[in-house]
Chains A and B, each alone.
Chain A
């Protein structure tokens, strides 16, 4: 498991203690994350990883699972 993924799980867990972010792949589709959560996650990611998620990457597919979101962060860090 990558370091990015571990840190991200910590951020998500703080938001919803009762959700299993490691396995859930329907965070948006099942309305587990709402618009407030998305804003919080984007802000925390920019603080933790020093990357800004651009608007065109804020799409449901990138937020449906912790894995997808970690992959997005990694790809932004490479740029």
Chain B
């Protein structure tokens, strides 16, 4: 039985050592190179006495950064990807939570490390890969490792203003990769075009199936997602046949009439998720790619990536929502009502997930973990955890799950999961701000921030850019004379919505 994700790599290397595994516009790495580099990095970490602890990978998005992840795993540690474009304040907050002893950098990021107050050891990827492979040390590490040991931590928005680190282990990732691969039909000929950043679980979809099948992943340059014709030409040039993208990246192409100029020629598998795919846009894709498979995916980071899928195989009205479908094999979904009872068929309930796919919870935050990873209330005779997503769904007549709404103020914005509370708390910390309220315009996809206080808008916007990642920046800022409150003193978001709608 497979117990370590590196077994994917080890089975593939002898078969296709010289095939390109990961590539971007600056270079590429073959499976043999990925393997050698990863073993060298693992040996370097082991040589310095690091084991079973977080190792930060602070590198530009590249094949090398991915390679560093596997190197960390060879060392029996778990990787934490941090992005160069994250604001310094957020990186400091994450480093403070993790207190890592090692950070792997590239030549661009290494000089930046000093500003975060980090005092541990820093490594350069290019130097680590020159370390002699210590087979004895790597074997000893592997012999100790269990499939319940962690692989990575990814950070997601937290409503208290502090990001939460979600920890996943070998076993949940293997479970996910096996079932995702079966559902989407990946194989050795799969050529992925990766869109999502490496610091989210979304990139698991490309990284591990590439190792498992000996497939190839191209990291599509980020700026291409602003220029649709270039983007489609890129897909055609590299003969990319499989994409798992956020909906907004797909609609950017279809809504601008790109298909009149250039059509994707090699795509055969299109998976999307995180947001509702407007049926009108979906039809344009279906028309230009009549033989491709289209699959809607749904799942929270806390359950290792995606949990449910729906192969779109029938027509939908423009007012319909494409269902999120059924759970993957070996994943269970329960819809719980407000009384912790199973919702009646067709009635809305909170999506609760059970199975090997559950992650290990939030790093260093046992209270937060216990709030949402709870005993299954439908079965109380032995310990069994479920993850409560906070997402409300119901079953349609076909028995497919359909997403309805959130129970709280978490939103999905451009494929990113964001707590409006995190934006409000960070904004409220600025000198001179008296009150803050955020709403989300779902139709236009805009985060709207209202505030009161003696602060000018440009000043506030500049401050927020230092505190919050790009995708959490308000898309519209409005200053008010007075913040609306409900009779019992809470922020009145409905009144804010009315102010926004009447503007």
Q: Identify the A interface with B (CB < 8 A).
A: 14-18, 28, 31, 33-36, 38-40, 42-43, 52-56, 58-60, 63
Contact = CB atoms under 8 A, between A and B. Distances in A.
A59 to B, nearest CB: 6
Interface string B308-344: 0000000000000000000000000000000000000
Interface of B: 222-223, 225-230, 248-249, 252, 256-258, 260-261, 414, 444-446, 457-462, 465, 470-471, 475-477
Contacts of B258: 55
Contact of B257 (A14, A36, A43, A54): A54
B260 A55 contact: yes
Given A18-B461, A36-B414, A55 B229 contact: yes
Contacts of A54: 256-257, 260
B196 to A, nearest CB: 13
A34 B388 CA distance: 33
Given A17-B461, A52-B257, A54-B257, A39 B252 contact: yes
Contacts of B414: 36
Nearest to A16: B461
Contacts of A40: 444-446, 475
Given A33-B226, A55-B229, 15 more contacts: A14-B475, A17-B477, A35-B225, A35-B226, A35-B248, A35-B252, A40-B445, A40-B446, A53-B256, A54-B257, A55-B228, A55-B258, A58-B256, A59-B227, A59-B230
A66 to B, nearest CB: 16
B460 A17 contact: yes
Given A15-B475, A39-B252, A43-B444, A58 B223 contact: no
Most buried by A among B227, B260, B461, B471: B227
19 contacts: A14-B475, A15-B475, A17-B457, A17-B461, A17-B477, A18-B459, A18-B465, A34-B226, A35-B225, A35-B248, A36-B248, A39-B252, A43-B444, A52-B257, A54-B257, A55-B228, A58-B227, A59-B229, A60-B226
A60 B462 CA distance: 24
A34 B446 contact: no
A68 to B, nearest CB: 14
Contact of A55 (B223, B256, B457, B477): B256
B222 to A, nearest CB: 8
Closest 5 CB pairs of A and B: A17-B461, A18-B462, A35-B225, A55-B258, A18-B461
A43 B441 CA distance: 14
B458 A18 contact: yes
B257 A55 contact: yes
B274 to A, nearest CB: 14
A72 to B, nearest CB: 14
A58 B445 CA distance: 20
A53 B252 CA distance: 12
B228 A58 contact: yes
Contacts of B445: 36, 40
Contacts of B256: 42, 53-55, 58
Most buried by A among B228, B256, B477: B256
A14 B226 contact: no
A28 B257 contact: no
A38 B475 CA distance: 12
Contact of A60 (B227, B252, B461): B227
Given A18-B461, A56-B261, A38 B226 contact: yes
A55 B224 CA distance: 13
Contacts of A53: 256
B229 A58 contact: yes
Contacts of A38: 226-227, 252
